[in-house]
Amino acid sequence: MTIQFKDETFRNDYTFKNSEWAIKRFPFPFHEDSYMYSVNMEQHKGGPEGSIYEKRFDVDEHYLGEMRDRAEVLIEDPLRCQSLPHMTLAGWDLLELIMVSKSEDYPDLFELHRKGNNWRWVNKPMQIDDSFTFLDDATLPYGPMEYITRQTQGDFVILDQRENNLWMDAGMVTTQADWSLDFDIGMNFFEWHAPVPKAHEMGIFTRALKFLLNIQQGAPARRLNWTMTVNPLLDTSPENYHKWGVQKN
Amino acid sequence: MSGAEKINVKVTNIVKLNDLVTRFEFKRTDGGLFPTFSGGAHTVIELKDGDLTRRNPYSLMSDPMDQDGYSISVRRDDEGRGGSLFLHNNIKIGDDVVLSHPVNLFSLDLRAKKHLMIAGGIGITPFLAQIKQLDRSHGNWELHYSVRNQSLGTYVDDLKSMHPNDVNIYYDDEKNFIDIVNLLDGQPLGTHLYICGPKGMIDWVVGEASNLGWPVEAIHYEEFLAPQPGKPFQVKLSASDKVVNVGESESLLEAIEREGVDAPYLCRGGACGQCETSVIEADGEFIHRDHWLEDEDKISGKKNNAMCITI
């Protein structure tokens, strides 16, 4: 099926709306009458056809609207996207992962042509057609992580694995549930999770870290997370709390 | 193994480098691209030796960016349990074998201002991949490589001709040894130290570095630990009630794999903790040869064993 990309806003007039198709595939997270966190990880190895789990990186009808909103957030606040100097190689790794996955999973929308390190990436919905040299930052308009995450739905954090811990050393975070990349950058797994109520005592983070440290190349995992807001506002950041916090009244 | 799918490959080239070391090169049988990896990663090669399935880890020495082929260099160990011997004696060009996805337990710390590499013997292999990776990004590295003698100097000529200023070779037989104290003392701030070689060498270098005040976060090492043989014993697995007889030269992990248990593992060398398992009750004495357990756990005898080196 061809995705009908919508022209919609996630702020001000909030023209965002889900189609029937989008509603049907929405991963409603509440299976019981009450909810508590759990370490609900599973292998990311596809899913039912048409579901949000089927493709490696899902693309839906909100793709263009979300990318436009991301670009606006970044104009107002460039610190939502940061990469510590040693993480550039990881950024290229992410770029390769997303480009290969999306060009294979959505051949009608994305193309990747590679000849050695000479790459050409075509993103039809966003009308992008860029040729560049893999691993050469100078040949892209942004750093590799920023470049590809400006074209991929969802927030991204790249974690450096050192000293049996994970460190938040790079990220593109524009649709967060009230946490700040600029505040957390450089922190480790336990540090950045400090504000989450109850979970530390429940041992959730120790178990989650052990699992994450042993994820192997070629065996990705996934975990469904969720957040609730009053309006379909994507930018629910601490940086802009003065603008959206009042909506909770 | 409960990890990623294995990669089916064909042996495309076998190069005998010297009396002890042979390089094996592989291509995918499906013609696809190999996953890229980072220098220091290893692969676990799976070999069918009659009824026995051998699983041996070897550092990937090829260029991490080369997705057309993987290479490993294997040192023949005549005293070992036969894995390297099997490779040297039985594997031919054109043979089909199976490789695991790369696993990296010895990666570069890319925050380092300088990477100081100390290699002993076959411990050179992970550095070969790391050097290729660092050269791409014009990284600052320096190698000190200790070999027994000129004829057993694996890759010495290649390294010296490609990197005459950054490679230093030491010949044991000529009583040429790394002056480790002087080498470590006075390295610029931000230097990270990497050691790969025999246990004695690692212990010595890590000890000197600690004495000189090097922070533990800046010291990285990988030991190619192979399980040493022990007496046969019997094990009962509490979850499945299976009773498994572990032979003299197989590890507990290998024995239960033989019985069809797909247990998790990563390094197969007692270093990573992935195959750690609880001991509910035991009759006999444990001699701990792993790097994973804390000393108090080893003494208590209660907690866990790394199955890959429980022999």
- Two structure tokens written together for B270: 């007692």
Chain B hits for A96, Cβ within 8 Å = 36
Quote the minimal CA–CA distance from B110 to chain A in Å.
5
Subunit contact B102:A163, Cβ cutoff 8 A: no
Percent over 90 (pLDDT), chain B: 64
How crowded is the C-beta side of B25, counted as CA atoms within 13 Å?
Answer: 12
How many Å from the N-terminal Cα to the C-terminal Cα in chain A?
Answer: 41
Last residue of a domain, one of B194, B222, B250: B222
pLDDT band at B311 (very low <50, low <70, confident <90, very high): low
Q: Is A45 on the interface with B (CB under 8 A)?
A: no
For residues B219 and B209, the answer to whether their CB atoms sit within 8 Å is yes
pLDDT band at B292 (very low <50, low <70, confident <90, very high): low
For residues B46 and B31, the answer to whether their CB atoms sit within 8 Å is no
pLDDT band at B2 (very low <50, low <70, confident <90, very high): low
User: Does residue B172 lie in a domain region?
Assistant: yes
How many structural domains comprise chain B? 3
Same-domain status, B165 and B124: yes
What are the start-end ranges of the E strands in B172-296?
Answer: 191-196, 219-222, 233-236, 243-246, 276-278
pLDDT band at B64 (very low <50, low <70, confident <90, very high): very high
Mean pLDDT of B184-211: 96
- Two structure tokens written together for B69: 């082929």
Nearest to A216 among B4, B107, B111 (CB): B4
Question: In this predicted structure, what is the pLDDT of residue B299?
Answer: 59
**pLDDT surpassing 90 at residue B204:** yes
Closest CA to B111 of B192, B220, B193: B192
pLDDT tens by residue, B67-79: 999 999 999 988 8
| Contacts (Cβ under 8 Å, ≥6 apart) of A113 | A119, A120, A121, A122
Question: In this predicted structure, what is the pLDDT of residue B229?
Answer: 65
Chain A hits for B101, Cβ within 8 Å = 216-219
Same-domain status, B203 and B120: yes
What CATH number should be reported for the domain holding residue B28? 2.40.30.10
User: Does residue B227 lie in a domain region?
Assistant: no
Nearest to A86 among B110, B264, B266 (CB): B110
Last residue of a domain, one of B38, B69, B104: B104
Question: In this predicted structure, what is the pLDDT of residue A178?
Answer: 83
Last residue of a domain, one of B46, B74, B104: B104
Subunit contact B137:A89, Cβ cutoff 8 A: yes
- For the question of residue A223 being annotated catalytic, the response is yes
Q: Is A135 on the interface with B (CB under 8 A)?
A: yes
H or E element, residue B54:
strand B52-59
**pLDDT surpassing 80 at residue B208:** yes
Q: Is A230 on the interface with B (CB under 8 A)?
A: no
Q: For residues B47 and B56, what is the distance between their CA atoms, to the nearest angstrom? A: 8
Quote the minimal CA–CA distance from B103 to chain A in Å.
7
Region of poorest pLDDT, from A16-25, A173-182, B132-141, B234-243 = B234-243
Q: For residues A224 and A222, what is the distance between their CA atoms, to the nearest angstrom? A: 7
pLDDT of chain A, 249 residues: tens digit per residue: 689 999 999 998 999 999 999 999 998 888 788 888 776 788 999 999 999 999 999 999 999 999 999 999 999 999 999 999 999 999 999 999 999 999 999 999 999 999 999 999 999 999 999 999 999 999 999 999 999 999 999 999 999 999 999 999 999 999 988 899 999 999 999 999 998 888 888 788 888 898 899 898 999 999 888 888 888 888 888 888 888 888 777
- Two structure tokens written together for B299: 């003494």
Same-domain status, B122 and B100: no
pLDDT band at B173 (very low <50, low <70, confident <90, very high): very high
Closest CA to B292 of B311, B262, B268: B268
Region of poorest pLDDT, from B12-16, B156-160, B265-269, B275-279 = B265-269
Subunit contact B4:A217, Cβ cutoff 8 A: yes
Burial degree of B70 (CB within 10 A; 0-12, 13-18, 19+): buried
Top pLDDT among A248 and B167 is at: B167
Same-domain status, B141 and B98: no
Q: The domain containing residue B122 runs over which residues?
A: 114-222
User: Does residue B2 lie in a domain region?
Assistant: no
Region of poorest pLDDT, from A179-188, B127-136, B148-157, B269-278 = B269-278
pLDDT tens by residue, B11-50: 999 999 999 999 999 999 999 999 999 999 999 999 988 8
**β-strand partners of B147:** B171
Quote the minimal CA–CA distance from B145 to chain A in Å.
26
Subunit contact A216:B103, Cβ cutoff 8 A: yes
Same-domain status, B218 and B120: yes
Which residue matches tokens 């037989």? B173
**96-125 of A, contacting B, C-beta below 8 A:** 96
Region label for A160, one of left (φ > 0), alpha (ψ between -120 and 50) or beta (otherwise) = beta
Q: Which of A120, A162, A207, A223 is catalytic?
A: A223
What CATH number should be reported for the domain holding residue B297? 3.10.20.30
Subunit contact A218:B35, Cβ cutoff 8 A: yes
- Does the CA dihedral A221-B110-B166-B121 come out positive or negative? negative
H or E element, residue A65:
helix A63-76
**β-strand partners of B246:** B233
Q: For residues B181 and B209, what is the distance between their CA atoms, to the nearest angstrom? A: 8
Question: In this predicted structure, what is the pLDDT of residue B235?
Answer: 85
pLDDT band at B226 (very low <50, low <70, confident <90, very high): low
Quote the minimal CA–CA distance from B250 to chain A in Å.
25
CA geometry: angle at B249 spanning B245 and B253, to 5°? 60
Mean pLDDT of B188-215: 96
Nearest to A217 among B102, B109, B264 (CB): B102
Nearest CA in chain B to A169: B111
User: Does residue B187 lie in a domain region?
Assistant: yes
**pLDDT surpassing 80 at residue B271:** no
Nearest CA in chain A to B7: A218
Same-domain status, B160 and B214: yes
Question: In this predicted structure, what is the pLDDT of residue B301?
Answer: 54
Q: Enumerate chain B positions whose Cβ falls within 8 A of a Cβ in A.
A: 3-5, 35-37, 101-103, 107, 109-111, 136-137, 217, 264, 266, 274
Nearest to B3 among A96, A161, A216 (CB): A216
Mean pLDDT of B196-212: 96
Domain boundaries, chain A: 49-241
Subunit contact B136:A135, Cβ cutoff 8 A: yes
Q: For residues B206 and B221, what is the distance between their CA atoms, to the nearest angstrom? A: 8
Quote the minimal CA–CA distance from B181 to chain A in Å.
25
Nearest CA in chain A to B275: A214
Subunit contact B4:A93, Cβ cutoff 8 A: no
Q: For residues A65 and B36, what is the distance between their CA atoms, to the nearest angstrom? A: 33
Q: For residues A212 and A161, what is the distance between their CA atoms, to the nearest angstrom? A: 10
Subunit contact A219:B3, Cβ cutoff 8 A: yes
pLDDT band at B309 (very low <50, low <70, confident <90, very high): low
Quote the minimal CA–CA distance from B121 to chain A in Å.
27
pLDDT band at B283 (very low <50, low <70, confident <90, very high): confident
Mean pLDDT of B166-182: 96
**pLDDT surpassing 90 at residue B191:** yes
**pLDDT surpassing 80 at residue B201:** yes
What CATH number should be reported for the domain holding residue B144? 3.40.50.80
Subunit contact A89:B5, Cβ cutoff 8 A: no
Same-domain status, B16 and B89: yes
